[in-house]
Amino acid sequence: MYRKQVRRRRAILVLLVVACLMLISISISEAESGPLQSIQNGVSSVLSPVQEGADRALKPFRDMIGWFDETIDARGENDELRSEVAALQQENLDLQGAAEEAGYLKTLEKLVATSGLDGYERVNASVLGRGFSVWYSTIVIDAGSSDGIEKDDAVVTADGLVGRVSEVTGGTAKVALITQGSSAVTARVAGEGPIGLVVPIIGAPGELDFTLIQGDKEVEDGDELITAGFSSDGLEARFPSDIPIGKVSEAIPAEQEQRQQVSVEPFADLADLDALTVLTSGGGTVE
């Protein structure tokens, strides 16, 4: 029974295939006005409105599918653009960092040349942390004894004196800034001017006071101070000579036996330190 059904289905399939081939052959060989062409045209004219209606009915669904495809493609393009923008931003930051470092090193070379610091090895470092104090007293840098840094080494930026190394470990060092309460720097007015001592001003974080020790000439507004580079009156010098310290922001003339009051603004921005340099293994004169 089952085999008869299979043979019947196969026979029907063969007849349909033969009929289709015959219709295709007749359609190709028949003229445009033939009966088969007429039947085909009639069927098309009947089904055409149905097809147009179906197209109109399905158009919103096709549009929605197209919108989803376009949205997905747009999101993919946006992700690619975001990645490209992020890469360009990082590249820009790297270039800015390299330019800033190059500018810092170039300015530092000028400082070294004008201050006579060629005999010192220079270790460039970055600030890791800052002491929690309004006095801007200490910072921690990412270089230490493994880099050749020792206690009491002078620390500078391209702008001028920062302080000295007060503590050192293998990979870090603590720097006591010149604004620290116990700091004292023997200094002189640039151009062979009077010599004195630069100390922090109590109650004025970040500002310095210049007390005259030698010399009769009064200090004036705008005078620049540099490290003196020698010991005087029992004061032990701790810094190489000729390092810029700061500029006189206010000089009040002396009255009678009172000393002249001189306020100094440091050249280095001690409140916003980032890159700095430690002078170590020096062969020059040190305070």
- Give the Cα separation of 197 and 212 in Å (integer): 6
pLDDT at residue 95 above 90?
Answer: no
pLDDT at 123: 92
Ramachandran sector of residue 201 (left: φ over 0; alpha: ψ -120 to 50; beta: rest): beta
Could you tell me the pLDDT band of residue 28, with boundaries at 50, 70 and 90? low
pLDDT at 270: 87
Element (H, E) at 47: helix 35-115
DSSP of 127-185: EEEE-SSTT--EEEES--GGGT--TT-EEE-SSSEEEEEEEE-SS-EEEEETTSTT--E
Q: Which residues contact 1 (CB under 8 A, 6 or more apart)?
A: none
Please list, residue by residue across 196-210, b when 16 or more beta carbons sit within 10 angstroms of its beta carbon and e when fewer do: bbbbbeeeeebbbbb
> Which pLDDT value is given to residue 167?
92
User: Does the pLDDT value for residue 286 go beyond 50?
Assistant: no
Q: What is the pLDDT of residue 100?
A: 61
pTM metric for this prediction? 0.61
d(CA 150, CA 144): 8
- pLDDT band of 70, cuts 50, 70, 90: confident
CA distance 244 to 206: 16
Q: At residue 79, does pLDDT exceed 90?
A: no
At position 173, the amino acid (one-letter code) is A
Assign a CATH topology to domain 116-287. Answer: Thrombin, subunit H (2.40.10)
The answer, yes or no, to whether residue 186 has pLDDT greater than 70, is yes
Q: Find the mean pLDDT for residues 130-155.
A: 84
Bridge partners (DSSP) of residue 211 are: 197
pLDDT value, residue 283: 44
